[in-house]
Structure 1
Amino acid sequence: MSEKKTKVAIIGSGNIGTDLMIKVMRHSQHLEMGAMVGIDPDSDGLARAKRMKVPTTHEGVDGLMAMDNFDEIEIVFDATSAKAHVANDAKLRPLGKRMIDLTPAAIGPFLVPAVNIDEHIDEPNVNMVTCGGQATIPIVAAVSRVVPVEYAEIVASIASKSAGPGTRANIDEFTETTSHAIVKVGKAKRGKAIIILNPAEPPLIMRDTVFCLVSAPDESVHEQIRASIEKMVGDVAAYVPGYRLKQKVQISEIPADQPVETLLAEGETDRPTHQVSVFLEVEGAAHYLPAYAGNLDIMTSAGVQVAERIAQKKETAR
């Protein structure tokens, strides 16, 4: 007899929520869909959910709470907006629902599976940072495991077509949340995040660039940094198969006339010696949008990874 799966609900029937639903239904070992929740009765996500025999409501969280199977749902993914998540969390967490936040609200601790899943797996609400954060923070963490990172800057470039209304509404929160997570999870002393919505046709695959300023004059340390990054890329690719290095890791000496002091954290006076440059590509699995939408794939894959671990831990404890 097969193990009973953990029922999940998804709030938000846009691009991220729909891709997440398809991943749960096609590939999850420990999860099953309990509900798809939206606010637009004509949304494509709700229509797809109905065709796939998933219970739906277009009345938001209140509609979810009124559903006959609400008590059976244990984990709730929120793929709405940062502002909406605050209200959704206030209603659902007191009722014992585990919240996986795919918005930049950051009510709960930041969670990047390849870096710190074991630290926060028991938290009632975890924040999945942002698509750019999921792609780049593992690299910052990989560098910081070898040598202190004085400053880390990430640039996430995604196809404009892969950014729905929810993503666009969260742009300001994206930069702020990702910058905080670069410091909190990546362990950089200061972080900065930039996102680019690229309107190119045909749409381009998600690209991410990571720059880290470090003090590493020794060539042997450079090799350790490269090895740490390559291992981390493999760790992320284990749950996001389209995640890869676009070219070899570059480590270059910082010219004496480059004013990097302006980038350092307040109170830092030691000038870094080298810049580590990492160029990534994230190809989507094309579960919902085409393969260019790696930003969807890395976010939803990370969310499913967390929910799977929660459900697996619960099953082990039985």
Structure 2
Amino acid sequence: MTDTRTPVAVLGAGLIGVDLADKIQRSPLLDCRLVVGRRECLGLRRAAEMGCATSTGGLDSLLEAGPFDVVFDASNADDHAGHWARLHHTGATLIDLTPTQLGAVVVPTVNGDQALSHPHLNLVSCGGQAAIPLLHALAQCCAPDYIEVVSTAASASAGPATRLNLDHYIATTQAGIRFFTGAPEVKVMLNLSPATPPPPFRVAMTVLATQIQPEVVGPIVAAAAASVRAYAPGYAVTSLTVAQGRICVTAEVTAEGGRLPRYAGNLDIINAAAVLLAEQYTAARSQ
């Protein structure tokens, strides 16, 4: 039988890239044809064990092996602009998992229908993917004046590229929240916790707003969370309080199944979002 799955490649063989390859391998719509890194490493060996072709030649080897319909950039923010400059001529859709502010900003449950409309998609950040579905939903029922988001991730879940990109993470997450909520003032903070055992990925959000209707907040938050759980089963709202002019909501993400430890929900949610976008792209293209 002819394989009708969409051919894709992963650029980057760190913690994110290897889990991404694993998720792609389990997708009925996607075919992971190549995982590339810049040097021989544990991530490439694990990708090979999963049955993926691998290369240490970086972007050059990906371009030589293509074309691919979708390329996932799981490298780092500093290199992403150069990757897009060389890839956009190939016709591939580039899904950016690094915290840049390039490309069309997409959160699957909010505007995932744009997956076919733009060749360059930006997934904001792991914190953005966890927070924005709830914050966007809340912004539909009130006018947020200020939003504060504090993310806590286990130190063990943050690889070298993630640590290199911390400043990008904060700036890009703030910009993404402003884009999807219209809030004039946004503050984002990130904690990497060395605690033992490692804590789950947690995102605590505070919204200051006018015209809050307390009776509708709970159902709105529950519906938004259920939409995220459809592709990230470990996503859960763990607390919600509504006071005069203030909404406080906390979400936790645990990695369910796959190769990630449960505390690495930050990696799980952005990779799940990336795979869903590629699947939405495939489904839309086949119509």
TM-score class, shorter-chain normalisation, is over 0.9
Percent identical residues: 36
Cα deviation, residue 289, structure 1: 2.4
Match of 1:193 in 2: 188
Report SS of the residue matched to 2:105: coil
Cα deviation, residue 160, structure 1: 0.3
CA–CA separation in structure 1 for the residues paired with 2:132 and 2:181 = 5
User: Which structure 1 residue ranges, 4+ long, deviate > 6 Å from structure 2?
Assistant: none
Note the aligned Cα RMSD (angstroms).
1.3
Match of 1:40 in 2: 39
Match of 1:131 in 2: 126
- Rg larger for: 1
Report SS of the residue matched to 1:246: strand
CA–CA separation in structure 1 for the residues paired with 2:103 and 2:116 = 11
Q: Is the 8 A contact 2:151 2:190 kept in 1?
A: yes
Match of 2:20 in 1: 20
Match of 1:115 in 2: 110
* 1:231 maps onto 2:259 in alignment: no
* 1:209 maps onto 2:204 in alignment: yes
* 1:4 maps onto 2:4 in alignment: yes
Q: For structure 2, which runs of at least 5 residues remain unmatched after alignment?
A: none
Matched positions, count: 287
**Larger deviation, residues 112-121 vs 159-168:** 112-121
**Deviation digits for residues 59-83 of structure 1, max 9, x if unmatched?**
110111122xx12x11000001111
Q: Is the 8 A contact 1:15 1:288 kept in 2?
A: no
CA–CA separation in structure 1 for the residues paired with 2:161 and 2:277 = 22
Cα deviation, residue 242, structure 1: 0.4
**Deviation digits for residues 261-297 of structure 1, max 9, x if unmatched?**
xxxxxxxxxxxxx110001110112422211100010
* 1:53 maps onto 2:23 in alignment: no
Match of 1:258 in 2: none
* 1:311 maps onto 2:285 in alignment: no
**Equivalent residues in 2 for 1:34-183 (5 A)?**
34-41=33-40, 43-67=41-65, 70-71=66-67, 73-183=68-178
Report SS of the residue matched to 2:23: helix
TM-score, normalised via structure 1 length: 0.87
Report SS of the residue matched to 1:66: helix
Q: Is the 8 A contact 1:286 1:293 kept in 2?
A: no
CA–CA separation in structure 1 for the residues paired with 2:31 and 2:3 = 12
**Deviation digits for residues 183-208 of structure 1, max 9, x if unmatched?**
10233222121111010011111111
Cα deviation, residue 111, structure 1: 0.6
**Larger deviation, residues 291-300 vs 120-129:** 120-129
